[in-house]
Structure 1
Amino acid sequence: RFGYVTPSLYIPFWNVNIPMSEPLYFLFCSFAVVSTVNAVNLTDGVDGLASGTSIPVCVFFGAVTFLWGEQYTTLGIFASALAGGLLGFLLYNYNPAKVFMGDTGSLFLGGAIVGMALMTNMPLIILVLGFLFVLEALSDVIQVAYFKLSHGKRVFKMAPFHHHLELGGWSGKKWSEKQLFALFTGISVLCAVISFVGIYNRYGF
């Protein structure tokens, strides 16, 4: 079983469900799908980065769906299989990469992540669980908007954010691809732990 979707917005950490009309919830979910898919795609700019940051996300969904019981069993299997597949892929995608994910892989991955969030009826968890994806997308939006409004000036050396760090950031310290992988994967693990704490009281566990 893949779970269920109801037109209500679950607020992590507060354990509150806010009812929404079906049309409004549909629009919200559509925005969540488009933004998450593109955010994950933007993250795939350094060897192993999209894979490394997505594995903790999949492990999170696998863990909570198994704990929630039979209604989410199939979704838990899917999340666990995706985490395992990404781990195997990472062996060849880690710097120096022998195999690349490409747009097809990263767009699928983004779709899978937002799909799991919707099927567990908590799309807002992506703001915490997928913090790095949000950061990558926001940095790109901010860069483009500021460039146009300031007639050619930039906030970041290059967007999305991982390229900004790669080029030295504001401090001038350049990050290697392996350092970026370690940093982003570590932050993703931390975000997964924080997210688990945020939904700990949901469904009685």
Structure 2
Amino acid sequence: MRAILVGGGLALLISLLGTRVAIRRFTEWGYGQEIRDDGPTTHHTKRGTPTMGGVVIILATVLGYAGAKLLTGTMPTASALLLLFLFVGMGLVGFLDDFIKIYKQRNLGLRSKAKMVGQTVIAVTFGVLALSPAFEDDRGQTPASRHISFIRDFERWTLPVVVVLLLIWLVVTATSNAVNLADGLDGLATGASVMVFGAYMLVNIWQNNQWCGQSDITYGKCYEVRDPLDLAVIAAAITGACFGFLWWNASPAQIFMGDTGSLALGGALAGFAILSRTELLLVILGGLFVIETVSVMLQVTWFKATKKFTGTGRRIFRIAPIHHHFEMLGWEQVTVVIRFWIITGLCVAAGLGIFYAEWVSGT
């Protein structure tokens, strides 16, 4: 538990102070945000706001975790290293996207195909390593599972490795893009991420207490995972890093995380879901990100379908993702953000409630 407190606290401090330095440096270097022309006109005033703040979140997390390991005198586990690989790797893809936007002074960075290639390489590499026998512990447990999981593995079906890799790719790319879609208002994605990563910290603490015999309650055991305590340390570090960044990212934002931060955070969420055997539970815990993604999918699908059959494309929402729709209806940006945070809190509460209830019953 000391490692969790140190990791979270150190990441919070580094992010809080480091973001202020990043704002000053990025402003001097001209690393300003480009704004989409078809978005709400109120966003045009944000043009030039420093971006790529996700670099600070990534550095704060890694340094916070490293500090916790040094303090406790323990070595990083396989699960933790794989999660950090996914976190940093997706952040690098986002960094390239942000850098191209800044360098070419446009709102389009990496082409969609190029971005997907980068996400695919990172996701598949993560999946192969997470399923590798080389990373088995003394119980023969690999970081990732070959079963479909909700709040525990459905052990009736053992999936072929190729199918599992395809599912891992789907979870990683879908989640990273979902967080990227939600990062459209000051503090929205950052505040939502704080709650979801905080939830995964609790999930991994509960798993660690059960399997390490630290629980005095005679509950049914939680399903088995590798290295839950180390995953909890990283979850605490990311939560702390997001908290520190939110101080400067809250409306009116003095810095944006950019794709560097949103893709990294989305990749980390997917990593936690995969390594903690909660892939399907992520749909509930990250309900806000699901809503944002579905709104875009519905908008695009309905527009193409109506254009094909009527000749005129029609829209369900005034603009997608859905947080911009409410802006176009006249809601203040802060109102949209706070209400979407409330939705996230409800989703997290529901997900943790389901997980805890099953952990207690052991069914």
**TM-score exceeds 0.5:** yes
Alignment correspondent of 1:144: 300
Q: Equivalent residues in 2 for 1:1-205 (5 A)?
A: 1=77, 2=79, 4-12=143-151, 17-18=154-155, 19=157, 20-69=159-208, 71-151=227-307, 152-168=313-329, 174-200=330-356, 201-202=358-359
Asked if the contact 2:182/2:321 (under 8 Å) is kept, the reply is yes
Q: Which amino acid aligns with 2:231?
A: L
Cα distance between partner residues in 1 of 2:275 and 2:179: 18
Q: Which amino acid aligns with 1:156?
A: F
Relative contact order, CA 8 A, sep 6+: which one is greater?
1
1:186 CA drift (Å): 1.3
* Distance change in 2, residues 1:203/1:21 (3 Å): farther
Q: Deviations over 1:14-45 (max 9, x none)?
A: x5625322221211111111111101000000
Cα distance between partner residues in 2 of 1:202 and 1:100: 38
Cα distance between partner residues in 1 of 2:247 and 2:288: 22
Structure 2 SS opposite 1:84: helix
Which consecutive unaligned segments of at least 5 residues does structure 1 have?
A: 169-173
1:202 CA drift (Å): 3.5
Cα distance between partner residues in 1 of 2:324 and 2:314: 17
Cα distance between partner residues in 1 of 2:301 and 2:347: 28
Cα distance between partner residues in 2 of 1:198 and 1:121: 14
Cα distance between partner residues in 2 of 1:67 and 1:17: 20
Q: Deviations over 1:148-175 (max 9, x none)?
A: 111211010000010111111xxxxx22
Asked if the contact 2:147/2:153 (under 8 Å) is kept, the reply is no
Cα distance between partner residues in 1 of 2:319 and 2:298: 11
Q: Which amino acid aligns with 1:159?
A: A
1:66 CA drift (Å): 1.3
> Percent identity of the aligned residues?
35
Q: Deviations over 1:120-151 (max 9, x none)?
A: 02111121011111111111111111111112
Structure 1 SS opposite 2:154: strand
**Bigger radius of gyration among the two:** 2
1:204 CA drift (Å): 6.7
How high is the TM-score relative to the length of structure 1?
A: 0.91
1:7 CA drift (Å): 0.7
1:199 CA drift (Å): 1.5
Q: Number of aligned pairs?
A: 198
Cα distance between partner residues in 2 of 1:111 and 1:162: 22
Cα distance between partner residues in 1 of 2:231 and 2:242: 16
Which consecutive unaligned segments of at least 5 residues does structure 2 have?
A: 1-76, 81-142, 213-226, 308-312
Asked if the contact 2:270/2:279 (under 8 Å) is kept, the reply is yes
* Shift >4 Å, 4+ stretches: none
1:203 CA drift (Å): 8.0
Alignment correspondent of 1:171: none
How high is the TM-score relative to the length of structure 2?
A: 0.52
Q: Deviations over 1:3-22 (max 9, x none)?
A: 8211111224xx56253222
